[in-house]
Amino acid sequence: MKPIEQPVPARFYRSPGQVMRLTRMGCSHPTRLSFLRQLLRRLKKENWSFDRPVWQINHEGVGHAVYWAQGPERCYSLVAFAHNLPEEMRSDRVIATAWDATFTLFDGTPSTADIERLERNVPLQEAGRISAKELSLSRANRSVRLFEYVVKELAQGRQPERGRLEQTGYLMRTTAVYGTGKFGAADRGNLVGRPEMQAPFQAEMLSVWLTRAFTVDLVEHLAAEQGGMQAVKLDPALRRLLGVGNSTGLGMAPFLVRHPALIHHWFAAREEALARVRSQPKLTSETIDQFFEAFRAAQENVVQWHSEHPLQVAKLKELREGLRKLQIFVHEGWDVAQVYPWDALWQWGELELPMEAQEALLALLLEPHWELVDDLGDQMATDEEVTFKVDGCQSIGELRKHLHSHFAWALGMDYQQPEQCARFWYVSEEKLEPRLGERYCEPGAELEQPLDIGRQVAELCDVLKKWSDRTPVAHLLLVRPEFRSIVRRVQLSAHYPFAEIQENLISAEMLPIDLLRSKLAFFGATRFDPRSDRWVRISLFQGEPYPDELNNTDVS
Amino acid sequence: MSPENQQVSEDFCTSSHLWFSQSELQQLVVKAARGAGYSWSDAEEIGWAAAWLSKFGLPGGDFMLSLMQSNDLQAPRPAALRWKGNSHPHCPLRCGLALMDFAQLPEGLGASCLVIESMTGLPCFLAFAARTARQIQHPLQIQWEEQSLFVHEDAWPSVEIDQVSMEFGKTVDVRITRSNSDMVSIETKNPQYCVRVSKQFLEQLEAFAHQTLVPATDLSRLRAGSHDDPTS
């Protein structure tokens, strides 16, 4: 199979109107283009090496450690601080002030002075300051039910039960991973010219991956402290079952709205990948074997994926049923010798599978086609500065045309109806956390954040009724400057069709967890487990190799 | 290690100032501008301008704070060659945005140059002039009183930005000219991504930004997930 050279015919693409709907985004699955997969492929391909040069953790599990990742040109160090957190202070909320462990990813190798500086600031998280020498700031809490159990078992010379590891899936979960520019950290501008940092969220992913190694090292250390000679290390096969948990709330949702050009690149790359696979006129024995291997992994994953939230319970039921139907079809109904066999499978899936399983099928189709799709990872970043502009010469008529072509989804709603503007996004005074309020029963709507894109578009459309088609947009913005940002988005949509989530984000029906799942799937998150309609837990790197295994593991 | 990083490691937080990342400053100024009463659209532009100025070594946050505290500034009435002054000084934000929007229209730069009369807040305007240069893909020369500098088509300023005197509160006539200089001959100033912010100005920006925040209630805390079981 060779990389694609000709443009893919339009019939193999899904439209933005089909893709950018919350119901579908809320069924997203990680793919081989997900950011953590991109990271591991690069580390493996470039033969990065890893070490733990510092381990100063005492018998109570308090102290610090440094994990070192050396690439072909630069090295990065995870500096981890382990704390003794009283039980009553353990909270996953962003408003917490203490954690079991805190971390930063350092650019290079930290000196003793750097460690001292970081020790004064990193444990404080938002209340401290880091510098342009740091690329991330994060913290994690122990999974109490699993962490103590694993320590106890290892201390007594036993391996923990596989089922218990699978059930929780992680020893610690991060409750915030701050990246670019936060609290003084390096900006993307500092990282220009570093290929390893060009794909989105690579510093954050590297930080979490090294954090995963730290969590295992910490339980083995505590087991050795408690069990002495009797203690054993965690079996590598069991260790693989563990990822890093993540507990996240609404904080990451506004990102998807505030970065339209970037989001376009994420979705456009994924859709291009799907189209490339669908447009393959025939398949090979290698790709079909790898497809079935990926299918088996997906079937195993869904068995281990649990949630008690009613919405996710229903989705998991759909996914299990869908995968069962797919299993039958690929063995009994799919003609692999036909022209465009992958497209035939996809089209069958669109007709026969629930949406949850359709999106799982998308991930499965990409999996064996690494030669065809992996280069698209390079297209998932963009310089947003370039798109921060308005074309003042554009005529109102042209603007109106774009508005009706790309925002029809927003224009059919009556935003005066209470159910269409039931919510408002705001930033809480308490720790600056994004939240979603009920407009008619909570205070603060006058301080609404501008995430109501649909409503803003409708207002612009209304205002334009009084303007002639030939007038340049510059004249409109001279007298109505408040419309500049929405005019920019409308103009952007002509070139970036996947830039907008095509939903009313202030409606009573909107489910914030759909936004979260979509973004987390691009990260590479698995085991999506909502705790409410705006609060979820997930796992990162579960099943993936550890630093000491990377060179002997196929991550392609 | 770059000299910039060296400086940060020695001195990244003192009693008088903090080092911010450029994006951090930008976000703070957006919130502050919104808190000061600007629309979200204007606030975004003010935040961008603060970041641009800071990137090239000027106190962007301080300048934008001055803008937020300015009163009675007027929007321009774009016309070919000259945007005439009126009873109050021209607003640098409105002039800057209009320059970008009208740059390629008859009321804008036209074939040669444009004079904007009686404008205050020159540093703020300069940021938008730079973006105009990038938008029209042509260097611009900015002149006022006896001073001059260039903005490159990559939106980078010429090195003269370190030497010129720019008082935010001074009202000046500004001449913007499509430069005939070979772009290679314009020596541009390199950007920096760490921004030194004085605590005094930071407090004022944060006070404005605070106006955008909604006090938490028990209901909002509950909905944000505080019922999640931390012990599991």
Three-class SS of B140-191: EEEEECCEEEEECCCCCEEHHHHCCCCCCCCCEEEEEEECCCCHHHCCECCC
Q: Which residue of A132, A247, A450 is in closest CB contact with B193?
A: A132
User: How far does CA A397 lie from the centroid of its chain?
Assistant: 38
Residue A3 confidence class, pLDDT cut points 50, 70, 90: low
Q: Supply the mean pLDDT for chain A.
A: 94
DSSP code at position A394 = S
A159 contacts A232 by C-beta, under 8 angstroms: yes
**How big is chain A by its Cα radius of gyration, in Å?**
25
Kindly indicate the confidence band of residue B180, based on its pLDDT and cuts at 50, 70 and 90. Answer: confident
pLDDT the model gives residue A304: 87
The predicted structure's pLDDT at residue B12 = 60
For chain A, how many residues are written?
Answer: 556
Residues with Cβ within 8 Å of B85's Cβ and at least 6 positions away in sequence, in order, are: B117, B118, B119, B173
Residue of A113, A117, A481 lying closest to B97 (CB–CB): A481
Instruction: For residue A132, list chain B residues with Cβ-Cβ distance below 8 A.
Output: 4-5, 8, 19, 21, 193-194
Residue type, A441: C
B191 chain-A contacts, CB cut-off 8 A: 189
Among A126-135, A428-437, A446-455, the least confident range? A428-437
Q: Would you place residue B188 in the very low, low, confident or very high pLDDT band (cuts 50, 70, 90)?
A: confident
Confirm if A78 and A238 have CB atoms less than 8 A apart: no
A77 touches chain B (CB under 8 A): no
Q: Taking CB atoms and an 8 Å limit, are A443 and B12 in contact across chains?
A: no
pLDDT over 70 (residue B229): no
Considering only residues A380 and A85, tell me which one the structure prediction assigns the higher pLDDT.
Answer: A380
pLDDT tens profile B30-63:
999 999 999 999 999 999 999 999 999 999 999 9
Separation between Cα atoms, residue A387 and residue A318, nearest integer Å:
39
A75 interface with B at CB cutoff 8 Å: no
pLDDT of res. B161 = 84
What is the H or E stretch that residue A436 is in?
A: strand A434-438
Q: What is the total residue count of chain B?
A: 232
CA distance B142 to B147: 8
The percent of residues above 70 in pLDDT, for chain A, comes to 98
- Chain B residues lying within 8 Å of A129, measured CB to CB: 12-13, 18-19
Nearest CA in chain B to A426: B214
pLDDT digits (tens, 9 = 90+) for B194-211: 888 888 899 999 999 999
The span from the CA of A392 to the CA of A490, in Å, is 13
The predicted pLDDT at position A112 comes to 96
- DSSP 8-state symbol, A295: H
Res A523: pLDDT: 98
Tell me, what's the pLDDT at B8? 43
Cα gap A32→A43, rounded to integer Å: 15
Phi, psi for A158 (deg, rounded to 5): -115, 155
Q: For A443, which residue in chain B has the nearest alpha carbon?
A: B214
- Residues in chain B within 8 Å Cβ distance of A442: 217, 219-220
Query: What is the Cα–Cα distance from A534 to A311, expressed in whole angstroms?
Result: 12
Q: CA nearest B87: which of B96, B99, B77?
A: B77
- The residue ranking higher by pLDDT, A75 or A93, is A75
Sign of the CA dihedral with B25 first, then B30, B35, and B36 last: positive
Contact A133 B8 (CB under 8 A): yes
The residue with greater pLDDT, A204 or A84, is A204
Place of tokens 């063995």: A331
Any chain B CB within 8 A of the CB of A127? Answer: no
Per DSSP, the residues of B26-68 read HHHHHHHHHHTT--HHHHHHHHHHHHHHHHTTS-HHHHHHHHH
Task: Note the pLDDT of residue B3.
Answer: 36
Tell me which of A70-79, A344-353, A476-485, B133-142 is least confident.
B133-142
Mean pLDDT of A26-50: 97
Per-residue model confidence as pLDDT tens digits over A227-267: 999 999 999 999 999 999 998 888 888 999 999 999 999 99
A and B: number of Cβ contacts within 8 A:
180
| pLDDT at res. A92 | 62
Smallest CA–CA distance, residue A516 to chain B, in Å, is 13
What is the rounded CA–CA span in Å between residue B28 and residue B44? 10
A120 interfaces chain B, CB cutoff of 8 Å: no
- Does residue B197 sit in helix, strand or coil? strand
Distance (Å, whole) CA A544 – CA A131: 31
A residues 214-273 closer than 8 Å to B (CB): 247, 249-250
Q: Does A473 touch chain B (CB under 8 A)?
A: yes
pLDDT of residue B166: 80
Report the residue from B48, B104, B212 with minimal CB separation from A447. Answer: B212
Contact B23 A433 (CB under 8 A): no
pLDDT band at residue B181 under the 50/70/90 scheme: low
pLDDT tens string A91-106: 666 556 789 999 999 9
Query: How close does chain A come to B127, measured CA to CA in Å?
Result: 13
